[in-house]
Amino acid sequence: MSSSVVFGPRLWRTCAAVWSRPNILLFPRLLAFAGTSRRFSSSTVNLDMSENGALPLRGKVLTVDTMNANVKKVDYAVRGPIVQRAVQIEKELKEGVKKPFEEVIKANIGDAHAMGQRPITFFRQVMALCTYPQLLDDNKFPEDAKNRARRILQSCGGNSIGAYTTSQGIDCVRHDVANYIQRRDGGIPSDPDNIYLTTGASDGIVTILKLLTAGEGRTRTGVMISIPQYPLYSASIAELGAVQINYYLNEEKCWSLDISELQRSLHAAREHCNPRVLCIINPGNPTGEPIRSFPYKKNSNDIYKGCEFHSFKKVLFEMGPEYSSKVELASFHSTSKCYMGECGFRGGYMEVINMDPEVKAQLTKLVSVRLCPPAPGQALMDLVVNSPQPGEPSYQTFMKERTAVLSALAEKAKLTEEILNTVPGISCNPVQGAMYSFPRITLPERAINEAKAKGQAPDMFYCMKLLEETGICLVPGSGFGQREGTYHFRMTILPPTDKLKIMLNKLKEFHQKFTQQYS
C-alpha cells in the first residue's frame, strides 16, 4: 500500500487519479482522507471554484505560521545542527575537499554497531532463522537458536515474522519479558498483561506521556525531568504541550540525585502547573551514572564493575504494600544499548504497574492505532530477555561475547575519565554506567562573548569549532540542559579503543589550543 500527502488547492484535478490510494489532501476548507475509491460529489465539497471549474490560485495551506506551534518548539540536539554539519563535511571529504583531518568521528550518538561493536552471534543467528526459516534445515545453526526461532515463528501469523502481530506484542515474547523481570527483581511477580512491546524505549515513553498530558494554564500537566536530560523528554513535552519541570543532578557528587532538589523543584512547579510525572533515567543519559539513592545490591547489564543496579519496581515493592499497591509506575527497556547495541531493530518494552483498568484499556486502544511494533524488534527483545542458559549449545560463546563487550566498555569508560581529567579546563566524573560521558569545560570569557555575538550557546560554539578543526562530532551540553553558567559536551565512549585514544588526544590538543586562542 502506498501513501502520499498532497498540499494546496491547485491539485484538485489530480484527486480522481490518486483516489484509489490513501492520500491526505489539504485545501483551504477541506482535509480529506481518501482511502477508498469513493469520490466526493460536487454537492458535498464546499470549494470556491472559478468559472472554468479550477480552483483560484492561493498561497500554501501549510506554512511555518499555520503549522502546529508545538512542533516548532521541539529540539533534538543529538541530531541537531552539529550533526547536520558533520554529514556535510563527510560529503565534502568524499568530493576531495581538503580538511585538517581524514574522517569524521561521530561520537554524538550511542550507536554501538556504527562505532564498530560486533553483533552478538546468537542474536543474529536467531534473527536470520526467523527471517529466512528455510535455514532451520541448515546444520550450521545450533539447536537452541533453532528452538528460539521456531517458538517465535509459531507465535506469528502464518508462522511469518512479516505478519502483523497483536498491538500489545507477540504473546510469547511478553511472557518471556515478564519472566525476565520477575527473575531480575528476585521473584516479585510480573504480569504479561502489563507488558507492552514497543518500537524502542522512546515509543513507550512518548505513549505514556500522551496519556498523562492534560489541562490548560496552571492545570497543565507538569513533567519532572533530570537536568542534564536526554532530549527525547524535552522534545516530547514540547510537542505534547506539557510543562517541563527541571530538577538538577549534583555534578559535584558524581551526578547524584538529591531528594531535597526534587522537593525544591516540585514545590516551585506547583505555582504554574500541575506536576503529575517524575522521569528518572537509570543509568543516566548523558551522565553515565547510576542512581545511588537506594542502598540495594544487584547486578545489571547496564552497570560496570563496582556499581550496582536496582530497578525502581524492586525498590517500590521493598517499601511495602502502602507504596507497591498504589504508586503508578511505567518502566522501559530496549535492545539498543548495553552489550546488545542493536539500535536499528527498534526493539523495546514497557511494564505498567498499578494503572487504572479503564486507563489501561485506553492505552491498549492507543497502541492499536499504530498496529504493532516491528516484529523483528519484538523477536530480538525476546532474545535479550531469554538468552542462552547454562547447558545450551550457545551459552559459552554468548557469555564470552557479552563479557568482552562489557569489559571493553568498562575499559573505555576508565580511559575517557583518565585522559580528559589530565586536560586543564576539562573535568570528567567517573563513567560508571551507560555509554556516555558528560565532561564540564571551562571556556575563556572572549570565547563566550564571541559565541553570544553569533547567537550561539558557548558550548555549541566550542563543539562546532572542534568539528571543523578536528572532525570530532560531539553534542554541546546546552542540548541536554545544564546549570546556568556551566558548559559541557556529551560524547559516547563507543569508538574502538585505539580510535578512542586518538579522539581523546585530539580533543585534548584542541582544548589547549582553543583556550590559548581566546585567553
Residue 290 sits at the vertex; the CA angle it makes with 250 and 376, to the nearest 5 degrees, is: 135
- What confidence tier does 60 reach under pLDDT thresholds 50, 70, 90? confident
Cell numbers at 283, concatenated: 543509568
Instruction: Map grid coordinates 521456531 to a residue.
Output: 150
* DSSP H stretches of helix in 54-191: 69-72, 81-94, 121-131, 143-154, 171-184
Please report the pLDDT score of residue 154 as a whole number.
Answer: 94
What is the rounded average pLDDT of the residues 215-227?
89
Contacts of 64 (CB under 8 A, 6+ apart): 72
**Neighbour-count burial of 113, counting CB atoms closer than 10 A to its CB (0-12 exposed, 13-18 middle, 19+ buried):** middle
Q: What is the pLDDT, as a whole number, of residue 296?
A: 31
From 55-69, 183-197, 283-297, the region with the lowest mean pLDDT: 283-297
pLDDT at residue 9 tops 60: no
> Could you tell me the pLDDT band of residue 437, with boundaries at 50, 70 and 90?
confident
Higher pLDDT, 134 or 40: 134
Say whether pLDDT at 431 is over 60.
Answer: yes
Residue 426 has φ and ψ, to the nearest 5°, of -125, 130
Q: Residue 15's pLDDT is what?
A: 46
**What is residue 293's predicted lDDT score, i.e. its pLDDT?**
44
Query: Is 274 exposed, middle or buried, given 0-12, 13-18 or 19+ CB atoms closer than 10 A?
Result: middle
Instruction: Give Rg (Cα) of the chain.
Output: 26
Q: How far apart are the first and last CA of the chain?
A: 61
pLDDT of 171 strictly over 80:
yes
**pLDDT(183) > 60:** yes
Mean pLDDT in residue range 181-201 = 92
State yes or no: pLDDT of 284 exceeds 90: no
8-state DSSP, 46: -
Residue 436 predicted with pLDDT over 80: yes
Rounded Cα gap, residues 245 and 68, in angstroms: 22
**H or E element, residue 282:** none
The answer to whether residue 55 scores a pLDDT higher than 70 is no
Res 19: pLDDT: 44
Whether the Cβ atoms of residue 288 and residue 226 lie closer than 8 Å to each other = no
Contact predicate 309/433, CB 8 Å: yes
Helix (H, G, I), strand (E, B) or coil at 460: helix
Residue 384, pLDDT > 60, answer yes
Residue 240 pLDDT exceeds 90: no
**Which of 67-81, 223-237, 380-394, 439-453 is the least confident region?**
67-81
* The length of the chain, given as a count of residues: 519
Rounded mean pLDDT, 196-215: 88
Cα–Cα distances (Å) from 307 to 186, 283, 311, in that order, read 18, 10, 14
Residue predicted with more confidence, 4 or 433:
433
The amino acid at residue 502 is: I
**Confidence label for 77 from pLDDT (cuts 50, 70 and 90):** low
Query: Which residues partner with 475 through β-bridges?
Result: 490
Q: What is the pLDDT of residue 228?
A: 87
Distance (Å, rounded) from C-alpha 403 to C-alpha 301?
Answer: 10
| Lowest mean per-residue pLDDT among 18-32, 142-156, 318-332, 420-434 | 18-32
Does pLDDT of 112 surpass 60? Answer: yes
pLDDT for the residue numbered 444: 92
**What's the pLDDT band for 315 if we cut at 50, 70, 90?**
confident
Neighbours of 349 (CB within 10 A): 30
Residue pair 381/177 in contact (Cβ under 8 Å)? The answer is: yes
**Side-chain half-sphere of 70: how many Cα atoms within 13 Å?**
10
More confident: 200 or 191: 191
Minimum mean pLDDT among 166-175, 344-353, 424-433, 445-454: which range?
A: 424-433
| Portion of the chain with pLDDT greater than 90, in percent | 34
474 alpha-carbon distance from chain centroid? 17
pLDDT more than 70, % of the chain: 82
User: What's residue 17's pLDDT?
Assistant: 47
pLDDT of residue 48: 52
Q: Is the pLDDT of residue 291 over 70?
A: no
Residues 107-128 have a mean pLDDT of: 87
Q: How confident is the model at residue 28 (pLDDT cuts 50, 70, 90)?
A: very low
Q: What is the mean pLDDT of residues 260-276?
A: 89
Band (40; pLDDT cuts 50, 70, 90): very low
In the chain, what are the domains? 2-9+123-295+307-395 (3.40.640.10), 74-104+405-518 (3.90.1150.10)
pLDDT over 60 (residue 495): yes
Predicted pLDDT at 24: 56
> Which amino acid is present at 238?
A
- pLDDT at residue 194 is higher than 90: yes
The C-alpha cell of 466 is what? 572542534
Asked whether residue 304 carries a pLDDT value surpassing 70, the answer given is no
- Which spans in 270-425 are helix H? 312-318, 321-324, 357-368, 375-385, 395-420
Helix (H) or strand (E) holding 476: strand 475-476
- pLDDT at 27 > cutoff 60: no
Letter string b/e over residues 140-154, b meaning 16 or more CB atoms within 10 A of that residue's CB: ebbebbbebbbbbbe
- The pLDDT value recorded for residue 287 is 60
Q: Identify the sign of the CA torsion 156, 161, 164, 165.
A: positive
| Residues paired with 362 in a beta bridge | none
